[in-house]
Amino acid sequence: MILTDVLGSRVTSSDGRYLGRVADARFVLDQPPPGQLLAGARLLGLIVSPHSAGSFMGYERNSVNRPWPWAQLLKWWHRGSFLVLWEDIEVMGPETVTLREGFSAYDPGLDGTGTA
């Protein structure tokens, strides 16, 4: 499966409750192996938006606020969005992503503040 298969997919809880759509994916870079220059990217989790499956276009970075009207529109459009970690994904398919019971919802911002 490739990332474009998952973007826009419905996200549900383990009991079938609709939570939103996959708006983006969050990757982390691990340390490069000894003797290599590039690090490998690893999927950390998915960004789930209850209102839109569209991209954040970088505005999840909390310090990005210009141009002002566009930043405000995207923040409103993606209100209630959250990051769900890879470990909390029970089933991931091309049309639906199901989260495990007791999943944690984290703040989608990149400022490192923790949970949503």
- Domain CATH number, residue 25: 2.30.30.240
The answer to the question of residue 70 being in a domain is: yes
In a domain, 93, yes or no: yes
- pLDDT number for residue 6: 92
* pTM for the structure as a whole: 0.76
Average pLDDT of the chain is 82
Number of structural domains, the chain? 1
| Residue 108 belongs to a domain | no
What sign for the dihedral angle of Cα 103, 49, 114, 58? positive
Burial of 44 (0-12, 13-18, 19+ CB in 10 A): middle
| Owning domain of residue 56 | 3-99
Structure tokens belonging to residue 95: 């049309």
| Residue 33 covered by a domain | yes
Among 110, 62, 111, 115, CA closest to 88? 115
- The amino acid at residue 8 is G
Residue 92 lies in a domain: yes
Contact status, residue 78 vs residue 51, Cβ threshold 8 Å: yes
Give the tens place of pLDDT for each residue, 33-88. 788 888 888 999 999 989 876 665 555 555 556 576 766 776 766 778 899 999 99
Distance of alpha carbon 59 from alpha carbon 73, whole angstroms: 10
- Exposed/middle/buried for residue 1 (C-beta within 10 Å: 0-12, 13-18, 19+): exposed
